[in-house]
A and B are shown apart, each in its own frame.
Chain A
């Protein structure tokens, strides 16, 4: 039973059933990062998947652009409470990137230019649940939003959708990432309001 705040009415929005508990809608696109925005020229960019057996699969920017793309339209939910509905991205499904990867690992650690990391179960990246995107809303992805390329894993809080992504390390054991070791929830399901450790 919540405590009532006398005189509070609130501004109710009609998001139907698309707004997870404790979230509110925004129209703009707030930015959250822990440090400066890294500048990564595409001619030096690469993306890698490193398996638990030390096999590495690499893509240059040109190789990445040559892969078949999708344009998912998804709702995104930030742990700082804002949600943005119907965002459209363009990029490559991780199913495509994982096509030739042999692994029995259960966990993935995403690592980014600039040193950011975030962890999630590998299955949360597969079966149409995640994309490596380089365009947002029909435009090139701006550096402050994670360009040249970022991950999109819309069913988890947005800190799992790492910006400036550089690669994915597959692991037999879970390895908590940057926010996951700074008090935030290890999994981060917005529908179960898993914001902080212990939620």
Chain B
């Protein structure tokens, strides 16, 4: 039986995604590899032995023993403030994983894919986008990315570069960039009807974000005729930190 053990992970690089989120790249000797969409547990231990752990989505396919997480600083959180503000290159944490065998996408899959992300829910979807590109998959992907305003965009530069077969629509809920055709607002039926796939194409739908967003998006997909078993969801609670 496979057993998940805690592995030492050393921070080797960080990238600021937004004012409150950053991507952390860890070297994890002994990392077994993972599938896009899976997550890990991160454990922090203080020098007096007190420890805390949380789950974070993997943001990219592994490169050997290098793994990437993107962490949003949760207000009043316990672990995320450390990961976004305190930890420095060379510091160590412990990582256990990969975890989760349901909210995953494998390059061998041939069905069209609809990714619907809200806020930091983009992270496991980005792992799927990067895995597709790395594998040279021609499966058509569509991404609907709901976020408060343009300054909240994760992976902004990378998502601007052309990635043939990947279409992206940004759904801003509070403030839109100049010249945007869609007014600010929460995800609606029209967004999914226009930016998604018709249900008759039988796409695999992955919905990730805060609970209210996921409930709304999954209900709209059902209303558009998508089969419930093709809608995979991952909800981030309002707490989590």
Chain A positions within 8 Å of B, measured between CB atoms, are: 2-12, 22, 24, 26-28, 30-38, 80-82, 114-115, 144, 178-179, 181-183, 195-199
A35 to B228, Cβ gap below 8 A? yes
Where chain A touches its partner, the secondary structure class is loop
Task: Name the residue on B nearest A25 (C-beta).
Answer: B239
Could you tell me the distance between the alpha carbons of A36 and B214 in the complex, rounded to whole angstroms?
A: 8
Which residues from chain A contact B88 at a C-beta distance below 8 Å?
6
Where chain B touches its partner, the secondary structure class is mixed
Asked, given contacts A3-B94, A5-B93, A80-B55, whether A36 binds B45 with beta carbons under 8 Å apart, the answer is no
Q: Looking at the complex, which one of B55, B76, B91, B239 makes contact with A7 (CB distance below 8 Å)?
A: B91
Q: Is B232 an interface residue (CB 8 A)?
A: yes
Could you tell me the distance between the alpha carbons of A197 and B241 in the complex, rounded to whole angstroms?
A: 25
Which residues from chain A contact B219 at a C-beta distance below 8 Å?
36-37
B51 to A81, Cβ gap below 8 A? no
Q: Kindly provide the distance from the CB of B211 to the nearest chain A CB, expressed in whole angstroms.
A: 4
Could you tell me the distance between the alpha carbons of A36 and B43 in the complex, rounded to whole angstroms?
A: 31
Chain B positions within 8 Å of A, measured between CB atoms, are: 1-4, 6, 8, 41, 43-47, 49-55, 76, 78, 82, 86-88, 91-94, 99-103, 211, 215, 218-219, 221-222, 228-229, 231-233, 235, 237-241
Q: Kindly provide the distance from the CB of A27 to the nearest chain B CB, expressed in whole angstroms.
A: 8
Q: Looking at the complex, which one of B2, B103, B222, B238 makes contact with A34 (CB distance below 8 Å)?
A: B103
B235 to A31, Cβ gap below 8 A? yes
A22 to B53, Cβ gap below 8 A? yes
B232 to A35, Cβ gap below 8 A? yes
Since A22-B53, A37-B218 are in contact, a sample of 10 more A-B pairs with Cβ atoms closer than 8 Å, ordered by chain A residue number, is: A5-B93, A7-B82, A8-B86, A10-B44, A24-B78, A28-B237, A31-B211, A34-B232, A37-B215, A115-B229
Could you tell me the distance between the alpha carbons of A38 and B233 in the complex, rounded to whole angstroms?
A: 13
Could you tell me the distance between the alpha carbons of A11 and B6 in the complex, rounded to whole angstroms?
A: 22
Could you tell me the distance between the alpha carbons of A114 and B215 in the complex, rounded to whole angstroms?
A: 14
B100 to A26, Cβ gap below 8 A? no
Could you tell me the distance between the alpha carbons of A26 and B239 in the complex, rounded to whole angstroms?
A: 7
Would you mind naming 5 contact pairs between A and B with Cβ atoms under 8 Å apart?
A6-B87, A10-B46, A24-B241, A115-B229, A195-B41
Which residues from chain B contact A183 at a C-beta distance below 8 Å?
99-101
B51 to A2, Cβ gap below 8 A? yes
